[in-house]
Structure 1
């Protein structure tokens, strides 16, 4: 017996699940109720489109298969009231909880104010990525200087933040991305790799990294950025820097 769930998924004899020709979700077989297991939401317009997010449910659980997490059961979600809010962004609600992909959100999504795609304010607290609580943030003065291009970098009157965490010793009064990184000149990784400096030190900011790299240059006043052969380099008097890595001039 074959039960076609759609989008390439099939249940065979209520014993195993295929995604096209490959068996999937094997470690969940003792949990899944094959009789009621079905797809309830997907971010694809047709079954021929690639779906990076698919919600499944049976009579007992809600499941998620996503490019952002491995197949899992949504903790504390129940099938009776489960609702997908935004399948493209992975927002859902059930049993009094809001979810971002597989993560249970620590605030009420419906009451949050989103500053951009990364930062939200809820209950006078700042959150990054819907799950990370910002450290010692002054909400009233918090800004995101380059909200679209470098959206995970923000600052308040006391600190500079990257992905919700304080960049140690960075001075928000003088911290700036080097203007030549932002003037529109094309270079490899120009959408995610930048250099910055304040009155103390220089920085390599890569938006897809987990942290900002501090560059302790001895010639901070001369620290600058230049595009050479479509590659972005920073320079001081002693070194060149490519993707944050130092080389002797």
Structure 2
């Protein structure tokens, strides 16, 4: 017996799930109720489009298959009241909880003030990525200097933050992205790789990385950025830096 779910998924004999010809979701076979298991939401506009986010439900649980997380149960979500609020950004609601993909959000999404796609204020607290509480932040002075291009980098009067965490020793008064990274000249990774400096150190920032790399150059005043053959390099008196890695001049 074959039960077609759509978007390439099917149930065979109420025992296993295929995605086209490959078996999937095996780790949750003991939990899934195959009789009631179905697709309830997807970000694909048509049946033939690739779906990077799919919500499934059975009589007991909500399940998520997404490019942002492996197949899982959405914790404490109920099939009877589950609502998709913004499938492109992964916002849903159920059982009194708001979710971002599979993560339960620690605040009321409907009352939050979003500063950009990364930072939000709710109940007088600052959050990064809808789940991470930003600690030791002074909200009155909090700014995101390049909100669109480098949206996960921010600062207040005391600290510089990357992905909601303080960059140790970075000086918010003098910390700046090098202007030549931002002047519109094209280079590879120009949308995610940047150099900065303050009065103590230089920094390599890749917005898709987990942390900022500190560059303890001996010639900080000479630290600069230049595009050569569509590649972005930083230089001081001793080294060139490509994607944060230094090479002796």
Q: TM tier, shorter chain? A: over 0.9
Distance 2:99 2:86 in 1: 10
Residue correspondences, number: 249
Q: Following superposition of structure 1 onto structure 2, how do residues 9-24 of structure 1 map, counting pairs within 5 Å?
A: 9-24=9-24
Q: Give secondary structure in 2 for the equivalent of 1:188.
A: coil
Structure 2 gap ranges (5+)? none
Q: Following superposition of structure 1 onto structure 2, how do residues 1-249 of structure 1 map, counting pairs within 5 Å?
A: 1-249=1-249
Superposed CA RMSD in Å reads: 0.7
Report runs of 4+ in structure 1 exceeding 2 Å deviation: none
Q: Give secondary structure in 2 for the equivalent of 1:77.
A: coil
Distance 2:19 2:167 in 1: 44
Q: Give secondary structure in 2 for the equivalent of 1:71.
A: strand
For residues 111-143 of structure 1, the C-alpha deviation after alignment (integer angstroms, 9 at most, x for no partner) is 111111111111111111111111211111111
Distance 2:21 2:206 in 1: 39
Distance 1:82 1:8 in 2: 23
Distance 1:134 1:83 in 2: 28
Distance 1:67 1:113 in 2: 26
The TM-score normalised by the length of structure 1 is 0.99
For residues 3-22 of structure 1, the C-alpha deviation after alignment (integer angstroms, 9 at most, x for no partner) is 11111111111111111111
* Residue 246 of structure 1: how far off its partner (Å): 1.1
Distance 1:243 1:2 in 2: 50
Structure 1 gap ranges (5+)? none
Q: Give secondary structure in 2 for the equivalent of 1:233.
A: strand
* Residue 41 of structure 1: how far off its partner (Å): 0.5
Q: Give secondary structure in 1 for the equivalent of 2:48.
A: coil
For residues 149-173 of structure 1, the C-alpha deviation after alignment (integer angstroms, 9 at most, x for no partner) is 1000000111000000000111111
Distance 2:229 2:15 in 1: 57
